[in-house]
Structure 1
């Protein structure tokens, strides 16, 4: 195994633009154009130790966070210390991330023979075996549910952490609430998986303690988001959209607190199961 080194991140691309101005006509046949800001996206090709692994459509911001979070959330590395170097290159609609990882992680990756040609909506594209879609992950330690006041008006309170959504919409957000109930960090992306990967990557890079914390996603909560939060060690996941049945079942089996906040109803606790039965 290679000796662990300090993570080095380099980039030779210009600062990415998250939104750009376009024009639209207010109605068919009208000639008056109106300006509007639209969310940008780019294709990011990711290679590990020189071997191409995935091409993901992402928002062109916080790409280093995304690469770290994608690597952790997909199980390619088990810890950020196994990532030695990230180099981001390219500009415009095409970017390249060259990632150097530890030998042990690279051999594990090659054995999996996985290719993930990703997109903004599906997190399981290219998975070749059922055990990759339903991995064997350890049961999490039992953690208390967050206090009710942490979730009060949460939809409104996260607005300041969603600048791109405020400007042009068309993006998902993932946020982290620390063990004191404070919103510490937020990331946005056109892809709901990507937003969560960026959040997990940022938390790992800043060595944020996630014990007792809460991950919040503004998107639909499906199984792969559960996996990412579980691998990150975050004990609670809050979703603004209802989870799938399989996501709720997995959370219950693995002691992940899973809470849905509907638009106009009180929070719904799907996991732990006994808490749900008491409400």
Structure 2
């Protein structure tokens, strides 16, 4: 069983003061399943994912980390589970905090030192959630506050908090001083609607090739924002080693990597297909390492190409022989963006093509534009390579001493990781792209506090990251 360790702490809240001093050895898992499922249309806990109910998925995930499990199902609910079912405390109808209070009271009365809580409708549950949240006092997942680790001594303070009329989860998170912890990888998806469940089902079937993210869609006509689930391709660094020599780190979707390495060696002119030995793969440090042995005649070319590879691509990745270097920390954008109206985005999209002289003539060039907050194209650069187009734009902004916080970048390209990183490093706070993002683009945009909008169309745009809450 997973055991979380706490130090003795002292916490204060607006409803009073309490001491939290347990060094826990017993952990109670609690599935919060008391919601009314209004948007879903039926009981979400019974909805099936990969042939099993969402409740079963949550219980199974907690069983591997906890000593016992309870299901907090509210009033008049009889979920299909062998676990003990608890009703809200201190009274019915208190929402998820009522279920959490019931779990904490049960934990305190039965010798459990802490409660590990998960909502029934958010998946997947990290298989090391308890370890991720371990530390002093209460802790919750950032922006997913029902994924929490709560000392059982918080039972009475939570009951008092609820009796005072406070019902929001965030109000108690703040009142008890809970730490907010960023979970690694894609955040759990809230399964609030049948389409969200369908996206999760489809994403699960595709395995390591995709991630499913909860995004928002902005409708230009109504300016309404709605939650949607979006399947995005995974983008990860793959370090390729031939004969023990670090040859390149390529960004790729981590599927069929044996074929990728063999094809890469063939297209590089290093070996014939029947000369490539079995590819050894292992996952590490946020990426993959692929190793293969090539014939001895390839060695001189390997050594020469390894020395010169870094100068051959503008993507900023090829030639880096370290996954850690490829995923080096990204300093956040320091500038704050100016207000941006949906109509300005629409305007920039409408006039972008008029400024693409090479693209119009050839149909084979990408564009990178810098636009004013009103949607006027201030500068635009083109190139056959999307990375090159952005580099040209950033260079022009610097040479002309244009304030990069006084507008947004608009790209006629897929939103990949390197484009996000280039934008962040250039100090441009808003990036809008015509195509959808990759998984790593989303992760790096979050790290760089970049406002990222993608899949921009005449009528809608996806809000991927919005750190400054520009769009509600």
Q: Please, what TM-score do these two structures have when normalized by structure 1?
A: 0.53
C-alpha displacement of 1:254: 2.1
Q: What is the rounded CA distance, in whole Å, between the counterparts of 1:162 and 1:183 in structure 2?
A: 11
C-alpha displacement of 1:261: 3.4
Q: Give the root-mean-square deviation of aligned CA atoms.
A: 2.6
Match of 2:408 among 214, 223, 233: 214
Q: What is the rounded CA distance, in whole Å, between the counterparts of 2:457 and 2:376 in structure 1?
A: 22
Give the total of aligned pairs. 165
Contact 2:333 2:425 in 1 (8 A): no
In the alignment, structure 1 segments of 5+ residues that lack a partner are: 1-112
2:363 is the counterpart of 1:169: yes
C-alpha displacement of 1:116: 1.9
Q: What is the rounded CA distance, in whole Å, between the counterparts of 1:254 and 1:192 in structure 2?
A: 20
Contact 1:268 1:276 in 2 (8 A): no
CA 1:151–1:180: 2 relative to 1, 3 Å? closer
What secondary structure, in the 3-state scheme, does the structure 2 residue paired with 1:221 have? coil
Match of 1:155 among 330, 333, 349: 349
Contact 2:410 2:433 in 1 (8 A): yes
After superposition, give the CA deviation of every residue in 1:215-235 in whole Å (9 maximum; x if it has no partner).
111011111111111111000
Structure with larger Rg: 2
After superposition, give the CA deviation of every residue in 1:35-77 in whole Å (9 maximum; x if it has no partner).
xxxxxxxxxxxxxxxxxxxxxxxxxxxxxxxxxxxxxxxxxxx
In the alignment, structure 2 segments of 5+ residues that lack a partner are: 1-306
Q: What is the rounded CA distance, in whole Å, between the counterparts of 2:405 and 2:416 in structure 1?
A: 23
Match of 1:225 among 380, 395, 419: 419
Match of 1:132 among 318, 325, 328: 325
> Where do residues 82-161 of structure 1 align in structure 2 (5 Å cutoff)?
115-119=309-313, 123-141=316-334, 142-143=336-337, 146-161=340-355
What secondary structure, in the 3-state scheme, does the structure 2 residue paired with 1:127 have? coil
Question: Structure 1 stretch 253-262 or stretch 195-204: which is displaced more?
Answer: 253-262
Contact 1:161 1:187 in 2 (8 A): no
Contact 2:333 2:428 in 1 (8 A): no
Map of 1:199 onto structure 2 = 393
Q: Please, what TM-score do these two structures have when normalized by structure 2?
A: 0.32
> Where do residues 1-279 of structure 1 align in structure 2 (5 Å cutoff)?
115-119=309-313, 123-141=316-334, 142-143=336-337, 146-263=340-457, 265-272=459-466
Q: What is the rounded CA distance, in whole Å, between the counterparts of 1:253 and 1:265 in structure 2?
A: 28
C-alpha displacement of 1:125: 1.3
C-alpha displacement of 1:131: 3.1
Q: What is the rounded CA distance, in whole Å, between the counterparts of 2:356 and 2:455 in structure 1?
A: 18
Q: What is the rounded CA distance, in whole Å, between the counterparts of 2:376 and 2:451 in structure 1?
A: 18
CA 1:240–1:126: 2 relative to 1, 3 Å? same
Q: What is the rounded CA distance, in whole Å, between the counterparts of 1:202 and 1:196 in structure 2?
A: 10
C-alpha displacement of 1:255: 1.3
